[in-house]
Amino acid sequence: MRQTLFQISFSEPWTFWTPNPTTGWPEIGMIWVWMFVMAAYSAFDFWRLRGAAERPSLVKAVVWCLAGIPLGLLLKEVLHGKSLPVFGYGFLVMLGFLTAVITAQPRFQKVGLDPEMTWDAGMWLLIGGVVGGRLFYLVQYRDQVYQGVSSISDAVFATINLTAGGLVLIGALVGGGAGFVAFCRARKLSFPDVADAATPSMFLGIGFGRIGCLMNGCCFGDRCELPWGITFSNGSVPFRILKERGFVAANAPFTMPLHPTQIYSAIDGFLLAIVTAVLFAERRWKGEVFGWGCVIYSVTRFLIEFLRGDEMGQFGTGLTISQLYSIGIFALGTTMLVWGGRRAGTVASPAVST
């Protein structure tokens, strides 16, 4: 578990991976971070436009990289003594988002769309996912979020304060799906066709996001007697929750071994990305890949929830809130498959609806 990967230092812009004496977290100077980001973006731009008539300018890329030097020296004077933490969860979610957008481009092209449209679709999905994930979190953990709130301003701050946790993945999927539908309607695109193209990449993003969950300490598992059980140190999120429930002593150094459900879920996401990518290459009708993705994911998520230790049963059912949502996702996927099977003669592309 590593909630904070490193800190971006503004007071020492040239420092490189130096442990902070107060926090112990490694620090990287702002200049190095800027140069790395600009170099990575330039490399991606060169790769993206390979074979194009106009290639990016190497001189321009170098200039953008070197621009970090005066910018870093300026920020050193303005933000002296300040640093910006880079959280593991947020970094992995962003990495998953970028990977998903890039890997979706060839499939978008196969359904008759401009590959660059994946960035627009990704932003609609990302914004909808954040809103949906936050709303579901507020509903599920409302007592914890609004504890001690005594004014409207406090309630507003608690509502938008993501630094205190959190997002719920199932809610993010629902919100992201709504955003994706809105994107398709705004662009007059066939949702089933475009959803097929995006499904493998969405599972890829889920895989990276679940690694972020492991680094954050959330979504942890129940007691595990198997050799690969993992423990969390005193002060971590799982330790705090298990201590409050009376499962570990306050002075214990670690939790008992727990199922690494974050890793299970990450592997599930990566495997589903492969499976749905193969399905896309062999699909028979619009919506088939998306439908099977919903069905398989809802089943695997439902089963993994039995190994989770962070959520309790809801509404007297003994099922977690995510399991209840999974039933709805299963119903959606089944509906898509039945609907698609009855319209098996539909041509799978182009994606633009008529």
Alpha-carbon distance values, 178 to 120, 191, 274 (Å): 14, 11, 24
Buried b (16+ CB within 10 A) or exposed e, 12-29: bbebeeeeeeeeebbbbb
Residue pair 312/319 in contact (Cβ under 8 Å)? The answer is: no
Q: Quick one: DSSP state of residue 146?
A: T
User: Which is it for the CA torsion 57, 62, 68, 70, positive or negative?
Assistant: negative
Residue pair 204/270 in contact (Cβ under 8 Å)? The answer is: yes
User: Which is it for the CA torsion 98, 103, 109, 112, positive or negative?
Assistant: negative
134 annotated as ligand-binding: no
Q: Is 85 exposed, middle or buried (0-12, 13-18, 19+ CB in 10 A)?
A: middle
The number of helix segments (H) and strand segments (E) in the chain equals 13, 4
Binding site: which residues? 210
